[in-house]
Amino acid sequence: MRAQAGMSALVFPKVVLFDLDGTLLDSAPDMLATVNHMRAARGHGPMALEALRPHVSKGSRAMSAAAFPELGGEVPPEMIREFLDVYAQVLGRHSVLFEGVPALLDAIEAAGSRWGIVTNKPEYLARQVLPGLGWEDRCAILIGGDTLPQRKPHPLPLLHAVAELGVGIGDCAYVGDDQRDIDAARAAGMPSVVALWGYRLPGDDPQAWGADALAEAVHDLLQPTLWSALR
């Protein structure tokens, strides 16, 4: 059920931009199916979800390196292509929205605000996610990691989103679970929120990333006090 339309438009910025994997979507199970397909093809046993999950927000190279530690972090380009090809075949089969995401997006729309996605996932893969979630006509903008010459942590994707949507930097906020998300927002001059429910390595310290706010769970983003602190 959609949130009540009487919810004050002042609760949210005019536009809320989100990272995708680890922020809106728990895609780790799809990623696990991908690396385990690759491992099986090489005669390896399956990798455990809890071992892969911290690496998901770091991208295909980091996940491949975690799945094949014998490479010593040196992942050849052909393995990245293989990862993306396999992932395209399993995309959406196992992933789910994080708890509270549907209600959050409903509330943003009911308040008269818009939301969009700025991800480092290749755009063609990110766009394949939208139909299964019913987001094709709801997502105001989608920018992938290969949409522009630069990707996060460079601020260009966020600056481009603002320009395309015709709003000011101060009228937006960016929510993400990785330091690159916060670095990009800070470089763009955009208020930012760390999604603490997402994917992080053991040594990551979100408190040190310089975000304007930290949210423990998705429902924290329904609190007016969080957004008022960003103004």
The residues assigned a catalytic role are 19
**DSSP conformation letters of 79-142:** HHHHHHHHHHHHTTSS-EEPTTHHHHHHHHHHTT-EEEEE-SS-HHHHHHHHHHHT-TTT-S-E
Question: Greatest CA span in the chain, whole angstroms?
Answer: 57
How far is Cα 143 from Cα 171, in angstroms, rounded to an integer? 18
* Whole-Å CA distances, 126 to 33, 140, 146: 17, 14, 11
Q: Based on the number of CB atoms within 10 Å of its own CB, is 91 exposed (0-12), middle (13-18) or buried (19 or more)?
A: buried
How far is Cα 74 from Cα 84, in angstroms, rounded to an integer? 17
